[in-house]
Amino acid sequence: MKTEERVETKSSRGSVQDKVLAGLRYGLMSGLFVPGQVFSLRKLAANFGTSAMPVRESLSRLIAANALEELPNRSVRVPRLSAQSLEELFELRVRVEGMAARIAATRITDEELRKLVEINQTVKDAHDSGAMGEVLKANQSFHFALYRLTRSTVLLPIIEGLWLRCGPTMYFSLSSPGIWDNSSHLDMLTALERRDPDATEAAMGRDIMKTGNYLIQQSRSGVKTGPIAELSFSFDGEEHPLAL
């Protein structure tokens, strides 16, 4: 094989793995995978339209990041989080994402604010229509559009790591009345419009702990299972089911 061909093959393989890893990370952070869900290497590879190798490598990287766990039989699943773990993760989220919200309030432009308003309307429309999978995806888009306003190369990876751990629990909160009423997002948008760091941080904390308090209470009460999301994500312009 010529050198150019070897480089191209290696590059293509890396590109496929990057896409698989990005898809899995997105599914975890958006709450499209749930705690206790076991992954099938064969089904994942089929859904991504690739061989098993890039899927296996991507799963290994997520295991190393503690976003997934390997069982004694070598299967891979989304970890179940104890009440203590949830308490720690949500406390960290309030602190770190609250800091990001403060910074965003001092840097946001009018155009960026309009974009956040549009994304939040997508959250509301999805909720009103009962498309709960779309609610999760739009909620993730809203939060990370806000966090990117910090222009920080330090904060964003930390927040992504927290969402990789917390994201899968989000699906269990969808049936709880009041959590997804959109009021905290509206409070954030009002505070951002005023360029008020204190109010933006406070609204962010309320939004995070609405879900956090519910999930911690559920964990303490012994709730261990939940419905597997019959959802899909977009990969290479096509929708792929997340019944894995």
What does the pLDDT look like over 6-41, one tens digit per residue? 433 445 556 888 999 999 999 999 988 999 999 988
Buried b (16+ CB within 10 A) or exposed e, 19-56: bbbebbbbbbbbbbbbbebebebeebbebbebeeebbb
Q: Specify the domain boundaries for CATH 1.20.120.530 within the chain.
A: 83-220
Segments of 163-218 assigned E as strands: none
What mean pLDDT is reported for the chain? Answer: 86
CATH 1.10.10.10 fits 3-79+226-241, yes or no: yes
Give pLDDT tens digits for 136-152.
999 999 999 999 999 99
Which pTM does this prediction carry?
0.83
Task: Give the model's pLDDT for residue 181.
Answer: 85
As a whole number, mean pLDDT of residues 182-200 equals: 97
Give pLDDT tens digits for 73-117.
989 999 999 999 999 999 999 999 999 999 999 999 999 999 999
Given this structure, which CATH class describes domain 83-220?
A: mainly alpha
Task: Give the model's pLDDT for residue 146.
Answer: 98
Please spell the DSSP secondary structure of 106-142, one letter per residue. HH--HHHHHHHHHHHHHHHHHHHTT-HHHHHHHHHHH
Q: Specify the domain boundaries for CATH 1.10.10.10 within the chain.
A: 3-79+226-241
Q: What is the dihedral of CA 208, 214, 215, 221, to 10 degrees?
A: 160
Please give the C-alpha separations between residue 118 and each of 114, 133, 202, in angstroms, as whole numbers. Answer: 6, 18, 22
Q: How far separated are the first and last CA of the chain, in Å rounded?
A: 37
DSSP conformational letter for 168: G
d(CA 177, CA 172): 12
Residue 182 — pLDDT band, cuts 50, 70, 90? confident
Please say if the pLDDT value at position 171 is more than 60. Answer: yes
Task: Give the model's pLDDT for residue 15.
Answer: 85
Task: Please identify which residue in the block is written with the tokens 């960290």.
Answer: 92
As a whole number, mean pLDDT of residues 185-194 equals: 98
